[in-house]
């Protein structure tokens, strides 16, 4: 404010002086004249004078030159002040440093992670009641770690469907650590198991990319694994992120399967493309892709059949679906092919992984029903053997029971110290 007032005073004085000299010289001026040097000169630098205290440092600006000519009139003073404010006025206060916002975001992330771990812990209660509780019981009353204990640990891991190969590798490492004196007590064995589980699960896992429009996620797996339920949960997740999602009822063999997808579609507010019962699943998915392209959908999620008893035709059919998708997408493959595996099926899930990977480029796994199984450990064997990332885990039948898989949270939840309840299970 002080600057503006000082400036107005200076300019009024300069204007008055110019008016005085202009009036004195008026009779001698021709009718059409150029402004006198006196009229041009003082007015021009005025806008750039930062304050009355520093009149010796004028800084003319391009904008400021414009109102200089009619300096004798009082109006330009106002205009000049405006220009002054716009060009060298006090800059707006800088935004507050981002530290507060960053800290708040970090706290929110930590809170979400804590909540996730709590949910996964709850979901994995059966698994912990299974092999983790059995491991915990092995330590009861022992004062030292010896090779007989390691053998018992191996047995527990194998019966937990972690797989013979993966269990063997874990045991080999434990044996080496015991030899080199790193396994002094129970706690060090738990730490080592946790670290090895993290290592196994840490396969490259870039986030699902949905940058293509439309992106396409193909869901495959045997009947009853949880494909349709997972599609409903996924659709809800992406709709919640503001995506326009279309569902394709590619399981054309069972009317009930189409109906089930339609129920999910209504619930999560996504249209469903379906064909006649028994129609070609590729054609249904093709039609869905075309509609998505024409109507600006972001994502198509395609369901498929999973008749296990007719294995060969199913795999041939899925390969055909895969080729049709590439045709529909102009040569591009599906953005994700997710294999849905039911965690309660243990070793069976391991075989399914083999079978589907022979036919398709499975890019990720969705492991369902982890809430109701003592066999959650099988995830370690599957990932160790196939190096395919787990994308999501299913911890129940509700729409919110799908969790993005995070190996650190998973290991933390899986190896949470068993409480009295799980130990008694």
Ligand X SMILES: Nc1nc2c(ncn2[C@@H]2O[C@H](COP(=O)(O)OP(=O)(O)O)[C@@H](O)[C@H]2O)c(=O)[nH]1
Show the binding pattern over residues 198-237: x = contacts ligand X (CB under 6 A), - = does not.
-----------------------x-xxxxxxx--------
| Residue 280 interaction partner, one of Mg ion, ligand X, none, beta carbon < 5-8 Å per kind | none
Nearer to ligand X, 260 or 422 (CB): 260
Residue whose CB is less far from ligand X, 216 or 249 = 249
Residue 407 CA to its chain's centroid (Å): 15
The reply to whether 130 sits near ligand X by the rule CB under 6 A is no
Find the binder of Mg ion among 167, 228, 345, 368 (CB under 5 A): 228
Report in angstroms how near the CB of residue 406 gets to ligand X at its nearest. Answer: 17
CB of 362: closest distance to Mg ion in angstroms? Answer: 18
In the bound complex, what is the minimum distance in angstroms from residue 409's beta carbon to Mg ion? 28
Stretch that binds Mg ion, among 11-19, 204-212, 227-235, 270-278 (CB under 5 A): 227-235
Decide if 219 contacts 248 (C-beta within 8 A): no
CB of 231 vs ligand X, minimal distance in Å: 8
Asked if residues 219 and 368 have their Cβ atoms less than 8 Å apart, the reply is no
Question: Toward ligand X, which CB reaches closer, 244 or 357?
Answer: 357
Residue 45: contacted member of ligand X, Mg ion, none (CB under 5 to 8 Å, by partner type): none
Longest Cα pair distance anywhere in the chain, in angstroms? 120
Stretch binding ligand X (CB under 6 A), from 48-56, 69-77, 172-180, 392-400: 392-400
Return the number of the residue (196 or 405) whose C-beta is nearest ligand X: 405
Using CB under 5 A as the binding rule, whether residue 257 contacts Mg ion is answered as yes
Q: Which residues bind ligand X (CB under 6 A)?
A: 221, 223-229, 260, 306, 340, 368-369, 371-372, 394-397, 401
* Residues at the contact surface with Mg ion, assessed by CB under 5 A: 227-228, 257
């Amino acid at each position: 404010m002080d600057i503006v007032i000082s400036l107005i005073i200076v300019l009024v004085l300069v204007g008055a002086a110019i008016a005085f000299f202009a009036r004195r010289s008026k009779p001698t001026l021709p009718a059409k004249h150029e402004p006198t040097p006196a009229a041009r000169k003082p007015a021009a630098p005025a806008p750039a004078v930062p304050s009355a205290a520093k009149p010796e440092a004028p800084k003319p600006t391009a904008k400021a030159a414009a109102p200089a000519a009619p300096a004798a009139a009082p109006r330009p003073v106002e205009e000049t002040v405006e220009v002054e404010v716009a060009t060298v006025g006090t800059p707006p206060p800088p935004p507050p440093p981002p530290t507060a916002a960053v800290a708040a975001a970090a706290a929110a992330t930590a809170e979400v992670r804590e909540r996730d771990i709590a949910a996964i812990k709850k979901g994995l209660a059966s698994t912990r009641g299974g092999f983790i509780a059995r491991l915990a019981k092995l330590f009861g009353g022992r004062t030292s770690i010896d090779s007989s204990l390691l053998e018992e640990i191996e047995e527990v891991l194998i019966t937990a469907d972690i797989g013979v190969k993966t269990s063997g590798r874990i045991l080999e490492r434990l044996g080496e650590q015991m030899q080199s004196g790193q396994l002094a007590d129970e706690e060090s064995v738990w730490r080592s198991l946790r670290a090895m589980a993290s290592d196994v699960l840490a396969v490259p896992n870039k986030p699902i990319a949905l940058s293509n429009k439309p992106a396409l996620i193909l869901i495959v797996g045997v009947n009853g694994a949880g494909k349709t339920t997972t599609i409903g949960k996924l659709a809800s997740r992406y709709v919640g992120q503001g995506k326009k999602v279309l569902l394709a009822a590619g399981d054309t063999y069972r009317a009930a399967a189409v109906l089930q997808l339609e129920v999910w579609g209504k619930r999560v507010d996504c249209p469903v493309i379906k064909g006649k019962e028994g129609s070609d699943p590729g054609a249904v998915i093709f039609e869905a892709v075309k509609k998505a392209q024409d109507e600006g959908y972001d994502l198509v999620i395609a369901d498929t059949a999973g008749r296990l008893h007719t294995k060969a035709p199913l795999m041939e059919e899925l390969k055909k679906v895969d080729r049709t998708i590439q045709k529909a997408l102009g040569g591009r493959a599906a953005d994700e092919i997710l294999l849905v595996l039911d965690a309660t099926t243990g070793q069976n899930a391991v075989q399914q992984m083999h079978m589907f990977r022979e036919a398709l480029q499975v890019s990720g796994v969705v492991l369902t029903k982890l809430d109701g199984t003592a066999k959650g450990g099988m995830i370690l064997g599957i990932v160790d053997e196939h190096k395919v990332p787990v994308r999501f885990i299913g911890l129940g039948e509700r729409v919110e029971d799908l969790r993005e898989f995070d190996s650190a949270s998973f290991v933390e939840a899986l190896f949470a110290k068993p409480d009295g309840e799980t130990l008694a299970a």
